[in-house]
Every structure is written in structure tokens, then in C-alpha cells.
């Protein structure tokens, strides 16, 4: 059967060597979710792809679809986000966290326009961000929401009692009241939960106005714990972001 050729808008998530001169490019596409495509000969000096198939590049690509790996036959740059990120460790680490989050949350073969737009928006925001950790938290929260893992932040995740509450547990589903809190529940500032709620609404500026170092640390911890619990996979890039 002849393979189908398709066009897609794609964001390069990561890449790894394949064979002697090829490279597998992991792409987030709006149309097909995560796609792994082989770029043939890309590691040769005279490769026609040049540096386009690198992380932080948005592309218009043509692919021949395969069972496990597609073949990339054309790639045109739409936008490069790395220029403003690579010279700033905090922004670069935050950008890497966005890309790793994409790979953790996206599905293969499933339309993912909402997640794609969130990722592109997050990379654009990080270009001039003074609070990259907050922007990563915003992206991860909203990405979890579009993939069905949104935490409860005002009502108790167990009984629905209205908040504000001052405890959070990822296994329970988010904020919990004093009657429902399981063992190991984390005590948090209710304003940290409020910040997370604002981030989920896309109100990053309002959230930033409430941030203190302690609240931001709590937000980061809750977002990370919730993502790790539901994805069952840890994000290594967040460890780098901690040191930035």
C-alpha cells in the first residue's frame, strides 16, 4: 500500500540520532498529535534541512506516514523561538520544560490543536518573561486541563465543599477540605491555590500580582506533583529549572 503524504503545522520537541546520517525528529503537530519522523541525511554537512529541525522551531512539514516512523520530506520554518531563550538559563530551562511537558501530555494520532496553541503561546510568552517559572506552571496547568487532568482548586476534589481550602493532594484530585484530606496531604497557602486558579483562566498577569517566593514555590510543587501523579512520569527538565 502506498504511504499517504500529509502536510502539518509542527513544533519540534526533540531529536535523536538514527543510523549513520539520519535523525528522528519528535514533533507536536496540530493535526496528528505527537509524530516521530525520520529526517534522512540530516546529519550530513550538505543536508537540505539545515538547522530547521531543532527544538524551539515551528515548522510547516510534509510527511509520508509510516506505521511507527514517518518520513519528513519537506520542512519550512514558520517561527524560531530559541533566539530569545538560549542566552538566558531560566528562560531556556523553562522552554525545555514546555517541550518536555508537550511530549508527556500529547497523544499520537490524535488532533491536538488546543495543546499545540498552548505550547506555541507559552514559548512566545517566555521570550520576554521575568517570571519563567510562573509561565511554566501556567502552561502545565492549562495543558493538563485540555488533556483531562485539571486539578480542582476551589471546591473540594472529594466532596465538592466550597473553598477556599488550604490543603492539596494530587491523588485526591487537587484541593481538599479538612474532612476529606487523606494521609500525606500538603498544607498550602489558599492564595497559592488562587494563583493556580487564575493561571488556569489564562489570567497570568493577575496571578503574577499575587506571587511571593513562598507561594510560587508551593504552586510549582503542586503543579509538579499533580502532573507526575497522573502521567506517572517525571519531568527531568523541571530539575534544571530548579537550578536556574
Q: For residue 210, what pLDDT is reported? A: 97
**CATH topology for the 5-80 domain:** OB fold (Dihydrolipoamide Acetyltransferase, E2P) (2.40.50)
Give percent of the chain with pLDDT exceeding 70.
97
According to CATH, the superfamily of the domain at 89-243 is Recombination protein O, C-terminal domain (1.20.1440.120)
Q: For residue 1, what pLDDT is reported? A: 42
**Ranges of each domain in the chain:** 5-80, 89-243
pLDDT at 75 over 60: yes
Q: What DSSP letter does each residue of the chain carry, written as one string?
A: -PPPEEEEEEEEEEEEEETTTEEEEEEEETTTEEEEEEETTTTSTT-TTTT-SSTTEEEEEEEE--SS-EEEEEEEEEEE-GGGTTT-HHHHHHHHHHHHHHHHH--BTS--HHHHHHHHHHHHHHTT-S-HHHHHHHHHHHHHHHTT-PPB-SS-TTT---S--SEEETTTTEE--TTTPPTTPEE--HHHHHHHHHHHTT-HHHHHHT--HHHHHHHHHHHHHHHHHHH----THHHHHHH-
Q: Tell me the mean pLDDT in the region 156-178.
A: 94
The residue ranking higher by pLDDT, 5 or 176, is 176
Give percent of the chain with pLDDT exceeding 90.
61
Q: For residue 10, what pLDDT is reported? A: 94
Question: The whole model's pTM is what?
Answer: 0.90
Average model confidence (pLDDT) across the chain: 90
Amino acid at each position: 500500500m502506498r504511504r499517504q503524504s500529509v502536510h502539518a503545522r509542527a513544533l519540534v520537541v526533540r531529536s535523536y540520532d538514527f543510523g549513520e546520517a539520519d535523525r528522528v525528529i519528535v514533533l507536536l503537530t496540530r493535526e496528528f498529535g505527537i509524530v516521530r519522523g525520520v529526517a534522512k541525511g540530516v546529519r550530513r554537512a550538505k543536508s537540505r534541512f539545515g538547522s530547521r529541525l531543532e527544538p524551539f522551531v515551528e515548522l510547516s512539514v510534509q510527511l509520508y506516514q509510516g506505521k511507527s516512523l514517518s518520513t519528513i520530506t519537506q520542512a519550512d520554518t514558520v517561527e524560531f523561538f530559541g533566539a530569545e531563550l538560549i542566552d538566558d538559563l531560566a528562560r531556556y530551562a523553562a522552554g525545555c520544560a514546555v517541550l518536555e511537558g508537550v511530549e508527556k501530555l500529547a497523544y499520537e494520532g490524535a488532533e491536538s490543536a488546543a495543546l499545540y496553541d498552548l505550547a506555541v503561546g507559552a514559548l512566545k510568552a517566555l521570550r520576554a518573561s521575568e517570571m519563567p517559572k510562573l509561565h511554566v506552571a501556567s502552561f502545565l496547568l492549562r495543558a493538563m486541563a485540555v488533556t483531562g487532568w485539571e486539578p480542582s482548586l476551589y471546591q473540594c476534589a472529594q466532596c465538592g465543599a466550597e473553598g477556599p481550602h488550604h490543603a492539596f493532594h494530587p491523588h485526591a484530585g487537587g484541593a481538599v477540605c479538612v474532612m476529606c484530606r487523606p494521609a500525606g496531604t500538603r498544607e498550602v497557602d489558599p492564595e497559592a491555590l488562587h494563583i493556580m486558579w487564575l493561571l488556569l483562566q489564562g489570567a497570568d498577569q493577575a496571578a503574577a500580582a499575587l506571587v511571593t517566593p513562598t507561594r510560587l514555590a508551593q504552586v510549582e510543587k503542586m503543579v509538579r506533583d499533580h502532573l507526575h501523579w497522573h502521567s506517572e512520569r517525571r519531568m527531568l527538565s523541571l530539575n534544571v529549572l530548579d537550578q536556574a
